Amino acid sequence: MALVVQKYGGTSVGDADRIRSVASRVVGAAADGNQVVVVVSAMGSFTDELIGLAQQVSSHPAPRELDMLLTAGERISMSLLAMAIHDLGAEVLSLTGSQAGILTDSSHGEARITRIRGDRVREHLDQGKIVIVAGFQGVDPDSRDVTTLGRGGSDATAVAMAAALDADACEIFTDVDGVYTADPRVVPDARLLKEVSYEDMLELAASGTGVLMMRSVEFARRFGVALHVRSSFHEQPGTWVKESAMEEAIITGIAHDVSESKLTVHGVPDQPGVAARLFGNLADAGINVDMIVQNVSMEGVTDISFTVPKNDNAAALAICERLVPEFRAGGVDADPNIARVSVVGAGMRSNPGIAATMFRALGDRAINIHMISTSSIRISCVITADRVEEAVRTLHEELVPLDEPVEEHA
Amino acid sequence: MALVVQKYGGTSVGDADRIRSVASRVVGAAADGNQVVVVVSAMGSFTDELIGLAQQVSSHPAPRELDMLLTAGERISMSLLAMAIHDLGAEVLSLTGSQAGILTDSSHGEARITRIRGDRVREHLDQGKIVIVAGFQGVDPDSRDVTTLGRGGSDATAVAMAAALDADACEIFTDVDGVYTADPRVVPDARLLKEVSYEDMLELAASGTGVLMMRSVEFARRFGVALHVRSSFHEQPGTWVKESAMEEAIITGIAHDVSESKLTVHGVPDQPGVAARLFGNLADAGINVDMIVQNVSMEGVTDISFTVPKNDNAAALAICERLVPEFRAGGVDADPNIARVSVVGAGMRSNPGIAATMFRALGDRAINIHMISTSSIRISCVITADRVEEAVRTLHEELVPLDEPVEEHA
């Protein structure tokens, strides 16, 4: 008998009809002879509504109480799902994060899972029950306070639960069909990937592919949990994320991200410690800096460019303006009208020509490259925002193979 | 330092403004030098909304899961209240019923409190914190499942918490000013009672005065907890419910109830076992029978009349119709257009003339009495529904003293 962990996101349990549809699917998996653990998020936008209420009663909601509040969201979705499954005649019960033994540290709002005490879940599974577990939440065993795991927390719950129970698969049900070679809204003939390696998925997630959070992928890789990312709206298989067992494609896909802003500090004297001081100040302000590019020094001065989330643009600009006189730099400017386009593929390691092909393809279209950064399996270019869709289509056409390298022939 | 338990109902925490207002009140009580435990209900009609959701996903929601669902309601109100109190600079935390050590039996939806393990609440109080406790909910220590306490459950939580912590007072904040000598919407010059004994309050609650549920009053009496029923909308004192230490008024108040329906089984052969079988069948169907009156037998047959909640009228009628042939009775009829008016006062025990005065007062107005039942401190008459307000006003005028027996003169 296989043990499957299924995770359903907020859209998948967004209303009563969707909940009943998920219930059928869960009961189907159990009827196929599987032990099933279901991890659910809060319904649709309910978490946002709760945050809105918190902001109405408090200017700075106390983190412990905000976690207590937000955990009501999964409590509602999980008990409704349990009722719907019960109505279909299956044995089922729902458990909060705390009841399911999801132990975390004490960082309210962004707690890390430290351990899963899986005996209560296992006991109910062994009694033939379907077990529903609240995603996104856990308990700090020292204070006995409930905690939440932050963005992507329900995926993390599912992966951790799958690891702790040594599950045969962890299915992440979502509102898209899986992972594509590029965003299908931008590239209509983008191809659904049958599988993708953990490391490619990490780079894709880091580069703007929003299907999975990096955190859950890292977790899955660390514990060797195979993820199956698939749609909750139909029965077709999606994308497996796992240790790659085959020759990898040179290019896995094209990702893009329009959520960032670019800042450039001009004419910085090329002295030790300047970059450390700049990025130290940004980090102290809680600003998450992504790409950093520093040009070669010309006549003792250099330009430092970096990207930050658009939300942090104003704060980052203020910090730079404060530092410009201290650095005796020339000035600073910010450009929010940028996009990042990335080519990702572990096969690039043994194919050094990809960067040149990418730059040539963009150049042929007169798409100007503002910044470049690379890892061993990714090349990212910052370009003007209004050319990003054209850039993604061009790179997809030039670089992504028409078929997956290994087809499943009978 | 006094220890006060305050309970706020759903209307009192119905929106963000009301929650902030309750927060000020709680912080005020703490600033006056009290240790404060606050018990809260779910916001406004949120529980009803959750029940609506449950009915959308399931024809018969599983009781365990319905409890899991409903407990989200207090979770939301208590954490919001904690945030609002925290914003006012006080130390505070919220605890679920389970965290607050409220242990119950396993009857989902109508669990009974079996024990309070008060050490966690006490520990936080001793650290100088205000402690907010979710009303209406507890945990079954055997299954570790959450339970709900049924109607009036938050009052029961407050009383039980006050008893367990040996609190100096238990304040029940509500949307009315306290307990009146009659419903002030019916009798404009009805008087707010400064205090009322447990036993009078029990009879008033049983007779339709909706301020407190009988269950909480019974609980308060058993553990000697003094209740202060008062408005959350202003600072005026309300009504103390406690062991009466003074000479009691003959009449405490007039209660009325229009929520019931009357059924009469006619021409029942006066044989042993008939009543037992009739009311046994009704009880098996979960129908809560209130007043029962059986006339003196005339020529070997009698009439049995009783009242049931209007909701149960159809079901009760069907059961009676099924039993009429078996009993060889004459027939059954149901009358939903009735009201019950009751005169309540522990002083009646030593004043036997009250019943006669009551019947005469109603007779003078040509208000026909359909049924009569009495306890040692209450007389109830069933009359036609359209005369009930007139009956309440008449009885209040004739029987309720203008002033309380003991006035507080300086």
Whether residues B94 and A68 touch (CB distance < 8 A) is answered with: yes
Inter-residue contact A71 to A147 (CB < 8 Å):
no
Nearest to B207 by CA among B367, B362, B378, B359: B378
Cα(A139)–Cα(B55) distance, rounded to whole angstroms? Answer: 30
Residues A31-48: tens digit of each pLDDT: 999 999 999 999 999 999
Is B83's CB within 8 Å of A76's CB?
no
Distance CA A158, CA A134 (A): 9
Residue A330 CB: number of other CB atoms within 10 A? Answer: 13
Residue of A nearest to B49 (CA): A76
Q: Strand order in A292-294's β-sheet?
A: A292-294, A301-309, A260-269, A331-335
B3-175: CATH, from 3.40.50.300, 3.30.420.40, 3.40.1160.10, 3.40.30.10? 3.40.1160.10
Terminal-to-terminal C-alpha distance of chain A:
26
- Nearest CA to A135 out of A169, A167, A170 is that of A170
**A87 interaction partners in chain B (CB closer than 8 Å):** 57-60
For residue A68, what are its two tokens?
């207590």
The complex scores an ipTM of 0.76
Spatial contact of B56 and B24, defined as CB atoms under 8 Å apart: no
- Look at residue B404 in the predicted model and tell me its pLDDT: 55
Cβ separation A65–B20 shorter than 8 A:
no
| Beta-carbon separation of A64 and B19 below 8 A | no
Mean pLDDT of A58-65: 95
Share of chain A above pLDDT 70, in %: 96
Say if residues A265 and A329 touch (Cβ distance below 8 Å). yes
Q: What pLDDT, on a 0 to 100 scale, did the predictor assign at position A273?
A: 77
CA angle A365, A370, A375 (to 5 degrees): 100
Min Cα distance B27 → chain A (Å) is 15
Within 8 A of B120 by CB-CB distance, chain A residues are 144
Alpha helices in A127-176 (DSSP H): 153-164
* Residue-level pLDDT at A246: 61
Q: State pTM to two decimals.
A: 0.81
**What whole-number distance in Å separates Cα of residue A216 and Cα of residue A227?**
10
Nearest CA in chain A to B66: A79
Q: Is A61 within 8 Å of B68 when comparing Cβ atoms?
A: no
Q: Which of B248, B245, B228, B244 is nearest to B236 (CA)?
A: B228
Report pLDDT for A248: 64
A contact set with B (CB within 8 A): 16, 19-20, 23, 50, 53-54, 56-62, 64-66, 68-69, 71-73, 75-76, 78-84, 86-87, 92-94, 99, 120, 144
For chain A, which residues make up each domain, given as ranges? Answer: 3-175
Local confidence band at A269 (pLDDT 50, 70, 90 cut-offs): confident
Could you report how far apart the first and last alpha carbons of chain B are, in Å?
A: 26
Shortest Cα distance from A171 to chain B (angstroms)? 23
Most confident of A130-134, A262-266, A307-311, B312-316: A130-134
Average pLDDT over residues A220-245: 90
The three-class DSSP label of residue B128 is coil
- Residue B228, classed as helix, strand or coil, is strand
Dihedral, CA atoms, B278, B283, B285, B288, nearest 10 degrees? 110
Q: How far is CA B88 from CA A65, B52, B91, B407, in A?
A: 14, 35, 9, 39
Nearest alpha-carbon partner for A25 in A11, A10, A15, A13: A13
Percentage of residues of chain A with pLDDT beyond 90: 67
Contacts of B98 (CB under 8 A, 6+ apart): B137, B138, B139, B146
Which chain B residues are closer than 8 Å to A19 by Cβ? 57
- Chain B residues contacting A via beta carbons under 8 Å: 16, 19-20, 23, 50, 53-54, 56-62, 64-66, 68-69, 71-73, 75-76, 78-84, 86-87, 92-94, 99, 120, 144
Residue of B140, B165, B221, B208 whose CA lies nearest to B39? B165
The string of pLDDT tens digits covering residues A378-396 is 888 999 999 999 999 999 9
- Cβ <8 Å between A83 and B61: yes
Q: What is the mean pLDDT of each run of 10 residues along chain B (410 residues)?
A: 94 95 96 97 94 95 96 97 97 97 95 94 97 97 95 92 94 93 93 92 88 87 92 92 74 93 90 82 86 76 89 94 92 94 84 82 89 84 94 93 53
Q: CA dihedral in degrees (B71, B76, B81, B84; nearest 10)?
A: 160
Give the three-state DSSP class for A246: coil
- Indicate if the alpha-carbon torsion angle A52, A55, A57, A60 is positive or negative: positive
Mention every residue, 6+ apart, whose C-beta is less than 8 A from residue A86: A92, B58, B61, B62, B65
| Shortest distance, CA A389 to any CA of chain B (angstroms) | 42
Give the 3-state secondary structure percentages of chain B, helix then strand then coil, rounded to 5: 35, 25, 35
Closest residue on chain A to B14 (Cα):
A53
CB-based burial label for B381 (10 Å; 0-12, 13-18, 19+): buried
How many beta-carbon pairs under 8 angstroms link A with B? Answer: 114
Check if the beta carbon of residue B109 is closer than 8 Å to that of residue B148.
yes
Choose the mutation target among B64, B69, B79 for the interface with A, i.e. most A CBs under 10 Å.
B79
Helix axes B63-87, B16-31, angle to 10 degrees: 60
Give the model's confidence band at A404: pLDDT under 50 very low, under 70 low, under 90 confident, else very high: low
Structure tokens at B73: 């309601």
What does the pLDDT read at residue B99? 96
| pLDDT computed for residue A407 by the predictor | 43
Hey, what are B323's tokens?
Answer: 């039993």
Q: How far does the CA of residue A73 sit from the closest CA of chain B (Å)?
A: 8
- In sequence order, what are the beta bridge partners of B261? B308
- Contact state of A83 with B57 under an 8 Å Cβ cutoff: yes
State yes or no: pLDDT of A74 exceeds 80: yes
Residue of A nearest to B24 (CA): A57
Mutate: best of B57, B94, B147, partner A, most A CBs <10 A: B57
pLDDT tens per residue across span A16-33: 999 999 999 999 999 999
